[in-house]
């Protein structure tokens, strides 16, 4: 892949901190401003980003689980006519994410660029940062508002309420402590845990991540034997943060990232829960197994040097689930 150093695109040898002692280390996102209903500052960053229809643009990869959260929220919160979106190609090259329409990109409808790193350069010509998706772009100020998926979904949850008919609250006050706790464990051991297993370059680092991942999956399986969703009777942010990892698990993480004690299909509750979420209206359309498979198997040459993309597995996520046994 590569990264920007002082605004110049460099290869990964300029990012020695990415793997430390065989362990993959993910670094914090740089742009942390918030869109708010009236443009006042959010929990971090500066103000000046009021919610307005047509003003903001979301850059995503349909292969990427972090971007997937934001695509799901945009869909569920009925923001598709309020926030425009561009998708990068499933193929990354020596210059990272591209807008090559021959390999699944929509093209860059807003800035007309061919590389994602050019969007970061527009926001800050001297930036030192990895060029990640998702990115929330402000067309009016010509800059990146935020490139942290967990914060972008919080904005989509409520900041644009004036411009949508969907007012579902995925982070209700009464459940916040519980959701925060679930997020913390699931981020560390599952969302990022699969990457820590897959990118590990020592046996110890791999085993540490892979074992912790299955401890959490076992816990979640128990939890979901007693309730329909992670934080109780209603769908919440915790579910939408877990879903993008679960839907990629049997197709990618099980084999490509060696997370292979069990498949999600082997867990009765997790597999039914996954179908339940997949079958929420609108969600299936946010899932592209073509992007997912080609993005992981076809790009990560340190993990899969041949870039060969496997033909399977065959799993029907539209088959009936048993989650309606829980009364909501
Ligand atoms: N913390 C970020 C992480 C995003 C992220 O790591 N995205 C990956 C794609 S799945 C990426 O763009 N990686 C490129 C790189 O690290 O160079 C978020 O949740 O938004």
Ligand 1: residue whose CA is nearest its atom 8: 132
pLDDT in tens, 41-96: 999 999 999 999 999 999 999 999 999 999 999 999 999 999 999 999 999 999 99
User: Is the Cβ–Cβ distance between 96 and 1 less than 8 Å?
Assistant: yes
Among 133, 134, 194, 253, say which to mutate for ligand 1: greatest number of ligand atoms within 8 Å of CB.
133
Q: How far is the CA of 325 from the centre of ligand 1 (A)?
A: 37
Angle (nearest 5°) at CA 193 between 253 and 200: 80
Whether residue 64 lies in the annotated active site: yes
Atom of ligand 1 nearest to the CA of 96: 17
Ligand 1: residue whose CA is nearest its atom 6: 132
Ligand 1 neighbours, Cβ below 6 Å, are 1, 29, 61, 64, 66, 130-134, 147-150
pLDDT in tens, 155-199: 999 999 999 999 999 999 999 999 999 999 999 999 999 999 999
Instruction: List all residues 6 or more positions away from 114 whose beta carbon is below 8 Å from its beta carbon.
Output: 98, 99, 100, 108
pTM of the entire structure? 0.98
Q: Please state at what angle helix 268-278 crosses helix 203-223, rounded to 10 degrees.
A: 80
pLDDT at position 156 is 98
Cα–Cα distances (Å) from 138 to 31, 90, 155, 244, 297, in that order, read 12, 24, 14, 25, 32
Domain extent listing, the chain:
3-163, 173-281
Q: How far is the CA of 133 from the centre of ligand 1 (A)?
A: 5
For the domain covering 3-163, report its CATH number: 3.40.30.10
Whether residue 59 lies in the annotated active site: no
Q: Which residues of 85-113 are buried (b: 16+ CB within 10 A; e: fewer)?
A: bbbbbbbbeebbbbbbeebbbeebebeeb
For the domain covering 173-281, report its CATH number: 1.20.1050.10
């Amino acid at each position: 892949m590569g990264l920007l150093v002082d605004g110049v695109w460099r290869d990964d040898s300029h990012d020695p901190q990415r793997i430390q002692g065989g362990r993959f280390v993910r670094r914090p996102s740089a742009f942390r401003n918030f869109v708010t209903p009236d443009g006042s500052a959010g929990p971090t960053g500066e103000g000046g980003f009021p919610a307005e229809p047509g003003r903001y643009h979301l850059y995503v990869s349909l292969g990427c689980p972090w971007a997937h959260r934001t695509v799901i929220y945009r869909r569920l919160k009925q923001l598709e006519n309020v926030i425009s979106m561009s998708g990068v190609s499933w193929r990354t090259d020596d210059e990272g994410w591209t807008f090559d329409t021959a390999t699944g990109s929509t093209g860059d409808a807003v800035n007309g660029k061919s590389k994602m790193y050019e969007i970061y350069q527009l926001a800050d010509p001297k930036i030192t940062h990895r060029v990640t998706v998702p990115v929330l772009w402000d067309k009016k100020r010509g800059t990146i508002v935020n490139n942290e998926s967990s914060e972008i979904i919080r904005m989509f949850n409520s900041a644009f309420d004036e411009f949508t008919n969907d007012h579902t609250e995925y982070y209700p006050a009464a459940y916040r402590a519980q959701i925060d706790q679930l997020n913390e464990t699931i981020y560390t051991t599952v969302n990022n845990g699969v990457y820590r297993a897959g990118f590990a370059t020592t046996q110890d680092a791999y085993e540490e991540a892979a074992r912790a991942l299955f401890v959490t999956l076992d816990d979640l399986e128990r939890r979901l034997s007693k309730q329909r969703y992670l934080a109780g009777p209603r769908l919440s942010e915790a579910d939408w943060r877990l879903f993008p990892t679960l839907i990629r698990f049997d197709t990618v993480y099980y084999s490509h990232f060696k997370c292979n004690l069990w498949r999600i299909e082997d867990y009765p509750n997790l597999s039914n829960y996954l179908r339940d979420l997949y079958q929420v209206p609108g969600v299936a359309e946010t899932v592209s197994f073509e992007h997912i498979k080609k993005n992981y198997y076809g790009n990560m040459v340190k993990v899969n040097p041949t870039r060969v993309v496997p033909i399977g597995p065959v799993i029907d996520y539209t088959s009936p689930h048993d989650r309606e046994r829980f009364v909501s």
